[in-house]
Amino acid sequence: MAVDNSIEETARTTQANLNYLLPGPDINRRFVSAGVEVNTGTYGPYPMTIRDGRTILEHFSFDRHGFKLLDAPTKIADFHDKTEIEAEYQDEVCEYVKQAFGADVVYSQGWMLRTSGNIPKKEPEADGEGGEKKPYRHYGGLQPAAGEVHIDTEPSRQLAYAKKLYERVRPGGPGFKRFIMSSFWRTFSPPPQDCTLAVCDARSVRNDEGTPNVLWVVDKIPEGDGMFAPMDDDAQLAAAIFRHNPDHRWWYFSKMERDEALLFKFHDSDNSVGWRVPHSAFWDSSFPDANVRESIECRTTAFFE
């Protein structure tokens, strides 16, 4: 049955700057440490129209758009309580993702809090053995909002990653015919939020778009030429970053509540449907007296056996 997309033209719109990759160095890396993330690439703002899908929620589908806003009540009382998150939240998310995609098994690859507010400087934790500091782990901490157009996965590396993950978490399993890597994004600060998340309609993204941005998790961000020093980039995880495309069609969902979650694809191995969703934080000027955005994202891989 043909889908009538005319309803999309009824959505409220807002204008905002989204940061796309500009011409620059051939080496693109993203260094992350506690409370700070730095790219070697240069990004610049492009004014884009962002549509508010709040009034047409039922129109969106994973196969077409690559994302949906879900009703997702949570048992978590305090998202700043790391013990509670570790004990409860990832299992909760995996069940929602399993139901949403119709997958057989779903595994979490960790979670992160983000905020548009100030991030207090945190000293590295001691490991208890001689008082030495633990190396930084990009997991379960507090980071700034990610304000560049990107996808957290780079297509050429995902099948190998999925095979390795499946072998580790499902030894002796029957194998899988499809996998979906995704983000389960929830804001838990009161609506409206000042710096929320925009997602790009998967149908408006060409398959040949995207440049690898290699992820390096470090204790200290390198400076100057150190950011471009020889490194084994091929052995690292990488994101995809994007140059401006005026055909990109952007959406968001205003005034999100803590019992809602935006589920969107990083990578679907079935490329015949909407298979990846660029996304970016943006400053929403639609509402006066907006609140600081606090959010939690949980990355998962869903397998279809």
Q: Which of 40-54, 100-114, 160-174, 224-238 has the lowest mean pLDDT?
A: 224-238
Q: Residue 232: what pLDDT? A: 81
Q: Residue 214: what pLDDT?
A: 84
Mean pLDDT of the chain: 91
Residue 303, pLDDT > 80, answer yes
Would the pLDDT of 41 be above 90? no
Given this model, what pLDDT does residue 153 score? 94
Quick one: tokens of 259? 């019992």
CA distances from 88 to 76, 180, 181 (A): 7, 22, 21
pTM for the full predicted model: 0.89
Backbone φ, ψ for residue 130 (5° rounding): 75, 10
pLDDT tens per residue, range 178-195: 999 999 999 999 999 999
**For range 297-305, the mean pLDDT:** 98
% of residues, the chain, pLDDT over 70: 93
User: Is 129's pLDDT higher than 60?
Assistant: no
Query: Is 7's pLDDT higher than 90?
Result: yes
Contact of 31 with 38, CB cutoff 8 Å: yes
Q: What's the rounded mean pLDDT across residues 219-226?
A: 85
pLDDT digits (tens, 9 = 90+) for 136-151: 555 678 888 989 999 9
Residue 1 has pLDDT above 50, yes or no: no
Burial of 84 (0-12, 13-18, 19+ CB in 10 A): middle
Read off the pLDDT of residues 46-81 as tens digits, 9 standing for 90 and up.
999 999 999 999 999 999 999 999 999 999 999 999
pLDDT digits (tens, 9 = 90+) for 285-294: 999 899 999 9
Q: DSSP alpha helices (H): ranges in 9-136?
A: 82-84, 90-101
Res. 91 pLDDT band, cuts 50 70 90: very high
The stretch 248-255 carries a mean pLDDT of 98
| Stretch 263-272: mean pLDDT | 98
Between 132 and 261, where is the model more confident?
A: 261
Buried/exposed 20-52: b ≥16 CB within 10 Å, e otherwise? bbeeeeeebbbbbbbbebebbbebeebebebbb
Kindly tell me if the per-residue pLDDT of 160 is higher than 50.
Answer: yes
pLDDT at 134: 61
Cβ-contact 25, 228 below 8 angstroms:
yes
Rg (alpha carbons) of the chain, rounded to whole number = 19
Binning pLDDT at 50, 70 and 90, where does residue 221 land?
A: confident
The pLDDT score that the predictor gives to residue 199 is 98
Q: Is the peptide bond before 25 cis (omega within 30 degrees of 0)?
A: no
At 130 the pLDDT is: 53
pLDDT score of 266 more than 80? yes
Between the CA atoms of 275, 241, 291 and 183, what dihedral angle is there, to the nearest 10 degrees?
Answer: 30
Burial class (CB in 10 A: 0-12, 13-18, 19+), 115: middle
Residue 27 has pLDDT above 90, yes or no: no
Phi-psi region of 271 (alpha: psi -120 to 50; beta: other; left: phi over 0): alpha
